[in-house]
Structure 1
Amino acid sequence: MSKSRIFLWVASVFVGLWLVAPTLVVIPMSFNEQRSLAFPPKGFSLRWYENFFASSQWLGGLLNSVQIAILTAIIATVIGTLAAYGLSKVSGIREAFGRNFLILPMLIPSVIFGVGLYGLFLRIGLVGTLPGFLLAHTVLAVPYVVVTVGSTLAAYDVQLERAAWICGASKPRAFMTVTVPALLPGILSGAFFAFITSFDEVVVSTFISSPYLQTLPVRMFSGLQREVDPTIAAAATLIMITTTAAALGSILSQQLRRNRR
């Protein structure tokens, strides 16, 4: 093995450990016996997980986050897939303008977007409502679907769809039976990114939340302002478990699809 390859492996391991280090600290703190975020933890206790699931605010925040993230993933995946497919049918300035417009929410700072959204939602009565959260999170998630599905479309052979038309299939039927299965890896990846974007979102959600509807990240941020106890570490651990499970599910589904081929 060459020195450059060894250096690359060492650098990759170092970066990986640096990224994983916060997780290795947060998870042990969630099992701490003490009423403070101390590391290394002293003793072992499940009291903070019991506190999490016994609290209507913590558990309600988790259920709200999961519900909003699932609905956002579904809506954003449908809209983003159709948008990417439509952009693939045009070229030139129309395609460039459309794609740049759709990915604009990725470029706008979250604080600016949240302030503007709060002012708009306050006027139309969507602050602290489920439709408001779905609308805001969908806008943030659609760009990821457009990018992933657009990348898959770049390698898609349009002759397959045209062959289906020649064989008598209507355009909607050809799209659903030929194009969508071919784009499924990109669609599943886009759905995963949309779910994670919604589930982890805290800045915009803070502006549009209310005491009656809060997501888990907003609840954690509010808890940090009032009191700090290991329940927050337990909540962070559950978020990591949920996002990791979603990632593994996406990878497993794509691997099963490749094996079927």
Structure 2
Amino acid sequence: MTGSPVLRRTLAVLGVLVGVWLVVPTLIVVPLSFSGEDSFAFPPRSWGVQHYVTFFTEQSWLTALLVSLQLAVIVTVVATVLGTMAAFALARSRFRAKGAVDGLFLAPLIVPGIVVAVAMYAAFLGWGLIGTPTGFVVAHTVLALPFVTVNVTAALSGFDRTLERAAASLGASAWATFRSVTLPIIRPGVLAGALFAFVTSFDEVVVSMFLQSPNLQTLPVRMFTSVTNEVDPTIAAASTVVLVVSTALLGLASVTRRNRRHA
């Protein structure tokens, strides 16, 4: 027992070191995005914002950003609605294959991304969905559904159903009960799932690479193309934008989940 405080401090130091080891290489991208050079020299010898100007004005980068944002918004709406419905079905139903269905919804989180991408490519190729907006929406929705389902299911696990019965006894319809009683209580879980769905779609690259076409590319795919085919420091600005958006949304999701636990 006398060594437990030392052990805790040691583990805390190791945790900080591991965190620094993981985060610092990513943060190097931020100063590179403000470099005034047309190379990846670090540390930068001069400073400027020309890479951001290029990112927000060059047609290929701007189009890819708008495609990713539009796709992420659509996927967020679709995944949130479907995931919430699935969470209700899984949380409030009892049937023999429930465990298998739960595992099916979590499969996109467990199966390696490249396996999912190849499977989707093979299926979508036969359905004529490669390089189409519909194909992207369907694929990204499949990847985002588990995050919504898990968060909403967690919110429903602590929900007191007597509140719904009380509303029904006062004459409220099923929809009115859901809108006025259930949804306000589980809203933090729904919002957290929606935020994770947005980030999942916005950051997805492996599946998007298999579904892309010359006329339809997401921002992560455009970034991958920039890395492999050219030496363009604009990717540092693009990476910083993705980093800021993803970090802000994930931080908001964490705050939302914390508020849900406190509630």
| Same topology, TM > 0.5 | yes
The residue that corresponds to 2:43 in the other structure is: 40
Q: Which residue of 1 aligns with 2:71?
A: 68
Q: Determine if contact 2:192/2:256 at 8 Å carries over to the other structure.
A: no
Amino acid aligned to 1:179: T
Q: How far has the Cα of 1:90 moved from its partner?
A: 1.4
Corresponding residue of 1:134: 137
1:154 equivalent to 2:157? Answer yes
Shift of 1:119: 2.4
CA positional deviation for 1:217: 0.2
Counterpart secondary structure, 2:46: coil
2:102 maps to which of 99, 102, 116 = 99
The correspondence for 2:206, drawn from 192, 195, 203, is 203
Residues 148, 253 of structure 1: alpha-carbon distance in 2 compared, 3 angstrom cutoff: closer
What SS does structure 1 have at the residue aligned with 2:93? coil
Q: Does 2:25 match 1:22?
A: yes
Within the alignment, does 1:3 sit opposite 2:11 as a pair?
no
Q: What is the Cα deviation at residue 251 of structure 1?
A: 5.1
Q: What is the letter of the counterpart of residue 49 of structure 1?
A: Y
**Contact 1:26/1:236 (8 A) holds in 2:** yes
Structure 2: distance between partners of 1:52 and 1:232 = 8
Cα 1:92–1:125 shift into 2, 3 Å: closer
| Deviation digits for residues 143-185 of structure 1 (CA, Å, limit 9, x no counterpart) | 1111111111111111111211111111222122111111111
Distance of aligned partners of 1:255 and 1:111 in 2 relative to their CA distance in 1, 3 Å threshold: closer
* Amino acid across the alignment from 1:52: F
Give me the whole-angstrom Cα distance separating, in 1, the residues matched to 2:194 and 2:172. 27
Q: Higher mean Cα deviation, 207-216 or 27-36?
A: 27-36
CA distance 1:95–1:257, shift in 2 (3 Å): closer
Residues 1:59 and 2:59 are matched in the alignment: no
Judged with a 3 Å threshold, the aligned counterparts in structure 2 of structure 1 residues 257 and 152 are, in CA distance, closer, same or farther, namely closer
User: Bigger shift: 174-183 or 140-149?
Assistant: 174-183
Larger deviation, residues 30-39 vs 50-59: 30-39
Q: Deviations over 1:60-115 (max 9, x none)?
A: 11111111111111110110011001111212533212211111222222222212
1:129 CA displacement:
1.6
Cα deviation, residue 28, structure 1: 0.9
Query: 199-208 or 91-100: which moved more?
Result: 91-100
Q: Which residue of 1 aligns with 2:222?
A: 219
SS of the residue corresponding to residue 28 of structure 2 reads helix
Q: Which amino acid aligns with 2:22?
A: L
**RMSD (CA atoms):** 2.1
Structure 2 portions without partners, runs of 5+: none
1:109 is matched with 112
Distance in 1, Cα, partners of 2:8 & 2:110: 35
Contact 1:88 1:95 in 2 (8 A): no
CA deviation vs aligned residue, 1:195-243 (integer Å, no higher than 9, x gap): 1110100000000011111100000111111112211111100101111
Q: How many residues of Structure 1 are paired with residues of Structure 2 in the alignment? A: 260
2: distance between equivalents of 1:212 and 1:40? 36
Structure 1, unaligned runs of 5 or more = none
Between 1:58-67 and 1:160-169, the stretch displaced more is 160-169
The share of aligned pairs that are identical, in percent, is 45
1:48-67 per-position Cα deviation (integer Å, ceiling 9, x unaligned): 11111121110111111111
